[in-house]
Structure 1
């Protein structure tokens, strides 16, 4: 993640990191569906790339628009 953000920046482009966070794990394998991600899995698997993007200087983050563990993401 960091290498990609840094590469975009070096090329004169702004990196937009998306979709924060947990959008990539919809129930039933369908887009635009709810997700359930246990807290430990969220911290160990899903959040580290977003931290790396932030530390590398991502210009923006796009929020997910699904429900995560029963709560709206945005």
Structure 2
């Protein structure tokens, strides 16, 4: 896994700031992610963040916590 810095936004749309995450990428974007003590896998849902216009992927943890991440991993929105 590669460690990168990402800007994180919480579920209430408040910036949590820059955080380090660990991420594995497939050909198109993140496929596995470690963030805030949890491991997330790509759910095969993708779309566009309406606020930024950036393409994103949905990730889910084993206990069903969800987040959205940009394809380059530089922005995360907790769900």
TM-score after normalising by structure 2: 0.23
Larger RCO: 1 or 2 (CA < 8 Å, sep 6+): 1
The structure with the greater share of residues assigned to strand is 2
The structure with the greater share of residues assigned to helix is 1
